[in-house]
Structure formats: C-alpha cells, structure tokens
A and B are shown apart, each in its own frame.
Chain A
C-alpha cells in the first residue's frame, strides 16, 4: 500500500520495521500536498523545511533506538494552535502577520512524542463557522465533491485527512467544529471531555466550550494521538488533573452489554431521511456487536442552538477584545486617534461572521439584556446538562447523527446564519455539557459521507473510542477514499 493510503497505526508499524524512513514519508506527503492542495485549499501554511528537519531528527532518534510514541509520524495542526516561530493566523486577516513566540501545549506534547508537522490547516476565521467559508484564506473544498464544503471550522484538517495529505490532523471543537467536518468528509473526529486536553496556546473562541481533539481515519489512530495530547497542564486553570487511561489498550475490548442511548428528539423533522437511515443502520451494527439500545430523551435539545448562540458569542466578544492592533495583529494605517485605531484595526482585520458574533456577544452582555439573554442562556445550559446527566444514568453512550445532512454546497448557507447554525444542532449539546463526543463514518448518501455521532459521559473517552473501534472492525466506511485522491 502506498504510504499516503496508510493510517497512522500502519505508518508507525512501517517506520518501526524500516519499510521507509520518516524523511521518505514526509517528503512523499509534502509532494502530495504540493500536487493536490490547490484543489482543496486545505493549508494556510505548509512547513516543508521544518517538517523535513523534524523527520531527519526522528530518523536519527530511531536509529539510536530512541524517539517518542509518534516518532516520525506526520500530522497537520489546525492553524488555531500557536506554533513557535511559525505563522499562526486562526484563519484571519487579523493574524495574517502573526508569528507565535510560543508553542501550544498540544503542539509541544505532539512534538515531544516525535510527530512531524507538515503545516497549518485552513479553518473558519477564529473557528467561527460550520463550512470553512469564513476563512480569510478562502474556503476549503470537500475531497468527496469539490463543490461542497468540508464542514467547519476544522475544515482544512478534515479535508487533509480525507484527501490523504496526512494520516491525522488536530482540530478544535466549540460547537461541533471537529465532529461535523469529520462527518462531512468521512473521517473520524473526537472532541474529548472539556478539561481533558489543555487549551493553553489554542486561540480562544469560547473558553467554556472550546476543546482540542483530533481528526483521523480510524478510531485506533484517534486513541493513539489522544493519549499523547490529553492530560493535566498546569498552565490551564480549566485543565483537569485526572489520570489518562491507556486508550489503545481500552479499544480492544468488546462492546457486549454496552448500553447505547437513542435520543427520541434526534429523529425529528430536520434530520434528512437518508442520513437518518444510515445512522439507524450503524446503530443496528452496534446491536449486532452485543450492545443494547435504550431510548432516552433530551427534552431541551431544540434550545441547545439558541443557548450556544448566546454563550459562545458572549465569550468570543470578550476573548477577541485583545486584538486591538497594539501588541500584535493587524493594525490600521494612519489612525486619527486611539478610537480610530481600535475601530478600524478591528473593523478591517475581522471578517463578517466574526464581527457578527462579536456584536451578538456584546449585545447579549450589555446593560439591560444580560439577564434576558446571557443569564437565561446559562440557566438553559444547566437544563441541557441535566438532561444529559439523567440520560447517562441509564446509558453508557448516546448514538445519533452528527449532522442533519451530508456535505452541502459551498455558498448554500452562507447568507442565512440560522440555517448555518442549525447544522450544529446534534453536536452543540456535548459542548454545553462538557461531554466527550466523536463522529465516525457510517455510510454514504449521494456519494457523500455521513457520520455517526457518539457522546460519552464525562472523562469516558475510552468507551467512545472502544465503541467506534469495534464498529470499525465490522464496517469499512472509514477506509473509503475519495476517487480523486486515491
């Protein structure tokens, strides 16, 4: 099998056996990116020189019997993670000139384990979007159909993995930004429990919702990477000091007796029929593997999107205040005075969707509206979290659709923010409640991939990964490759 077609796990074995070196592998993938990225626009920055140097170091380490658990394995970082000495744009004109002076914890941990970074993936601006169309660097295209969106905001990551530019990419998920793009590109995406992976160095969108994760082609690969990324970080106050289980060991176990929750409200209107069918077929596979299904209810599901669109903009409006043209980032020229410097640097440096969210957030926090919107949303958030808590008293995992439909055409929803927001209806709840969740490919509708969404209890990524891995032992949706990228 050609190197690019292999999973992270397969490549690790190949490197170990000496079938190829990391330098050969890295060069091959860089060549592939150079040849095909134009079709997808998946990268903001390709770090070829740094990647080749890292690959050489990894090969040297291996020859001396050393190297970390990811030694020499190529990955891509979403351009939301700060990378020392390398441009970190967050998909924005605001940071087009920003060279991070430090590494995010995620970047540091993966580098310490020997991973080789091929580049920085395109994304929706400041992770605000579900289609990758809000990127200052242009939309990413879906490898399964170049007219379609690869989802967002981790669209560059999902497209890259689907197109076999790399076996894995990091992503971040505030309302579905790992899982929805994974579903739309036929890849695996996991968002761990809030607090499981450090947020240090990950440019904040909505601090109480953001969580880093990975996009891969198999859940085994996801387990391998997550084990390296996860764990306590003293630089993040919201990082939780809990032991990280051996995910790779955990996935091998059977799911016999696993209680799978089926959410009554998931199959209401809004879910496209064919997508719903694929999801039900996937659940049938889980049953065949010995799982039992239990019907559960998330009565406030329909309020999760409006809740999210108060909480996330509120936090983002504050998080993005630091971009003022003074210490870093875009600065408007010839400012008349301080106010002009602020208003124009921000007005010119941010794109439409980001400005819209900042204004929404400013509005819901402003005097006279705080109680009606922000505080109300915090209360509804509690109701939603309680719904999940009740459900997890009865089940081990909740299964349903990741997105209401397969990939949509670029431009289709860009003019209607509400339609765009509703794309995240199934994923947002996990962010509001801080739960781990993942998307696994479970079939195709009109030659476009569909994702099965799994949500777990707090800090129980293990069950999710095991469930997904066992499912992937029975199915081969995840091995399908878009025709143009074989």
Chain B
C-alpha cells in the first residue's frame, strides 16, 4: 500500500472531505492502486521536456474594461441554502 490512513486523512482534510471509516478502508486500497498505476510515469525519460499545461499554443485574450453586469442577486441566491440580508451565511468564522 503506497498510501496509509494517516496520509489519506491529511489529503481528505486538504480537500475538505469527510469520509466514513468504511470509505477510508476502501480508499486506502483503491487510491494506493491508482498511485501505483500512475507511478509508471517515473519510467518516462522527460529530460529537457517542457511541461505542457495546455493543449493549444495560444495566448490569453483580453477583455475591454467595461461593466457589463447588472445586479441579479436575488435570482442567484435562490440556489443558496442560507441567506440573510443579501449575505450568504456560514457557521461563525473565528479569526
């Protein structure tokens, strides 16, 4: 197993995923398989190869600095579970 539960707990925390014990057991096994599988990449000789982040050799297009949006808050907030006075609500954040 290339991954253990402790490592996985750390990853799950970074990804903000709560897993059940059962899910952890299954994930350790399956993710280890996946990691072992992608480990094949280490065999490739990539000396001097530039990493390719994007399939096309294109450059960023620029948008004129114009305000095009009108307020549509109420409609956007119909999808939110908890809203008050136009604010999205989350459990109190302590700084």
Is chain B in direct contact with chain A in the complex (CB below 8 A)? yes
Q: Which residues of A does B touch, CB under 8 Å?
A: 97-99, 101, 194-195, 208-209, 234, 237-238, 240-241, 300, 302-303, 305-307, 309-310, 317, 321, 324-329, 331, 335-344, 346-348, 350, 352, 355-356, 358-360, 362-364, 366, 372-373, 375-383, 385, 416-418, 421, 431-434, 458
Asked if A326 and B18 sit within 8 Å, CB to CB, the answer is: no
Q: In whole Å, how far is A297's beta carbon from the nearest beta carbon of chain B?
A: 16
Q: In whole Å, how far is B75's beta carbon from the nearest beta carbon of chain A?
A: 5
Number of A-B contacts (CB under 8 A): 174
Given A307-B41, A309-B34, A433-B55, list of 14 further CB < 8 A pairs? A194-B56, A306-B40, A326-B88, A343-B13, A346-B18, A347-B18, A352-B23, A356-B31, A356-B34, A363-B3, A364-B38, A379-B44, A431-B55, A458-B56
- Which residues of A have CB within 8 Å of B11? 359, 362-363, 366
Q: List 23 A-B contacts (CB under 8 A).
A: A208-B53, A234-B63, A238-B54, A303-B41, A305-B37, A325-B81, A326-B88, A327-B76, A327-B88, A338-B93, A341-B90, A346-B18, A356-B31, A359-B31, A362-B14, A377-B38, A377-B41, A379-B50, A379-B51, A382-B49, A382-B52, A416-B33, A418-B37
Q: Mark out the residues of chain B between 80 and 94 whose CB falls within 8 Å of any chain A CB in the assembled complex.
A: 80-82, 88, 90-93
A116 to B55, CA, bound (A): 33
Asked if B67 CB lies within 8 Å of chain A CBs, one says no
How extensive is the interface on chain B, given as a class?
A: 35 or more
Asked if B71 CB lies within 8 Å of chain A CBs, one says no
- Which residues of A have CB within 8 Å of B6? none
Q: Mark out the residues of chain B between 35 and 67 whose CB falls within 8 Å of any chain A CB in the assembled complex.
A: 35, 37-42, 44, 46, 49-56, 58, 60-61, 63
A37 to B40, CA, bound (A): 42
A356 to B52, CA, bound (A): 24
Give per-residue flags for B12-37: 1 if the beta carbon is below 8 A from chain A beta carbons, else 0: 11111111000100110011011101
Asked if B31 and A346 sit within 8 Å, CB to CB, the answer is: no
- Which residues of B have CB within 8 Å of A343? 12-13, 16-18
For residue A373, which residue of chain B has the nearest CB? B38
Q: Which residues of B does A touch, CB under 8 Å?
A: 3, 8, 11-19, 23, 26-27, 30-31, 33-35, 37-42, 44, 46, 49-56, 58, 60-61, 63, 72, 75-82, 88, 90-93
A373 to B41, CA, bound (A): 8
Q: Which of A338, A358, A377, A433 contacts B91 (CB 8 A)?
A: A338
Asked if A329 and B79 sit within 8 Å, CB to CB, the answer is: yes
